[in-house]
C-alpha cells in the first residue's frame, strides 16, 4: 500500500472508533430520556462486518496482491460523497444517531435533512460505502462479499426490527408512511 492508501485506511479506522464514542455518548443520553435498545443480539454481526471490511482490505492488499485499479478515482469520489452524506445524517439525527438501534418512546422521528426524503439515508450511505471503499484499494472480493452480507443483514434483519420498534414507541409510521426506505421521495 502506498502512503496515500495507508492514510486513507487509517482514517477509516479512526472514523469508526470516533463514531463508536459518539454512539456511546448518544446512548447514554437516550437512556436518560427513557430510551431502550432493540436488536442487541445482531449488533455483533454489524460490528463484524465493519471489522471484516478493514481485515479484507488488508488481506487482499498484503497477501493477494490487490492493487488500486486505474479507475480508483471513481470509487474514491463516490466514497467522499458518502462521507458528506454520512455526516449530514449524523448531524441531522444529533443525539438520536447511533450505531445501535435505540428508541426513545414518544419522541418524534427526525424529518429534517436527508430524512425529509427517505426513511434510511444512513443505511444507504453504509451500503454504498461498503461497496466502494474496498474498491479504492483494489479489494474486489471484500467489496462484493461484504456488500452482499451487509445488504442482506440490513434488509432482512436490521431495518424491519428498527421500523417495528419505532412504530411501537413513536409516531414513526404516520410521519414516514409516504417516504421510501432507500430512494428519495420529493413530495
What pLDDT was estimated at residue 1? 64
Residue ranges in the chain assigned as alpha helix (H): 3-32, 43-62, 73-93, 121-137, 140-153, 159-169, 172-176
pLDDT for position 111: 87
| pLDDT above 80 for 100 | yes
**Window from 35-39, 81-85, 172-176 with minimum mean pLDDT:** 172-176
Global confidence as pTM? 0.92
Residues 161, 82: Cα–Cα separation, whole Å: 24
Give the Cα separation of 78 and 156 in Å (integer).
25
What number is the average pLDDT over the span 30-51? 95
Task: Report the residue count for the chain.
Answer: 187
Secondary structure letter of residue 64 according to DSSP: S
| Mean pLDDT on 70-92 | 97
Contacts 24+ apart (CB under 8 A), 157-164: 157/39, 157/42, 157/45, 158/39, 158/42, 158/46, 158/101, 158/123, 159/120, 159/123, 161/38, 161/39, 161/42, 161/101, 162/38, 162/39, 162/101, 163/119
Q: Burial letters for 148-186: b for 16+ Cβ neighbours within 10 Å, e otherwise?
A: eebeebbeeebbeebbebbeebbebeebbeebeeeeeee
Cβ neighbours around 82 below 10 Å, total: 20
Amino acid at each position: 500500500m502506498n502512503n496515500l492508501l495507508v492514510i486513507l485506511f487509517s482514517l477509516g479506522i479512526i472514523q469508526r472508533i470516533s463514531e463508536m464514542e459518539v454512539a456511546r455518548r448518544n446512548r447514554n443520553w437516550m437512556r436518560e430520556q427513557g430510551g431502550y435498545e432493540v436488536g442487541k443480539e445482531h449488533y455483533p454481526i454489524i460490528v463484524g462486518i465493519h471489522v471484516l471490511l478493514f481485515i479484507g482490505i488488508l488481506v487482499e492488499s498484503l497477501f493477494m496482491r490487490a492493487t488500486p485499479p486505474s479507475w480508483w478515482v471513481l470509487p474514491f469520489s463516490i466514497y467522499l460523497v458518502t462521507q458528506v452524506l454520512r455526516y449530514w445524517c449524523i448531524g441531522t439525527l444529533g443525539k438520536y444517531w447511533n450505531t445501535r438501534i435505540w428508541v426513545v418512546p414518544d419522541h418524534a422521528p427526525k424529518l429534517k435533512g436527508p430524512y425529509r426524503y427517505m426513511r434510511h439515508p444512513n443505511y444507504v450511505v453504509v451500503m454504498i460505502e461498503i461497496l466502494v471503499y474496498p474498491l479504492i484499494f483494489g479489494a474486489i472480493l471484500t467489496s462484493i462479499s461484504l456488500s452482499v452480507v451487509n445488504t442482506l443483514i440490513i434488509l432482512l434483519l436490521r431495518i424491519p426490527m428498527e421500523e417495528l420498534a419505532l412504530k411501537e414507541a413513536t409516531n414513526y409510521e404516520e410521519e414516514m408512511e409516504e417516504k421510501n426506505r432507500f430512494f428519495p421521495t420529493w413530495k
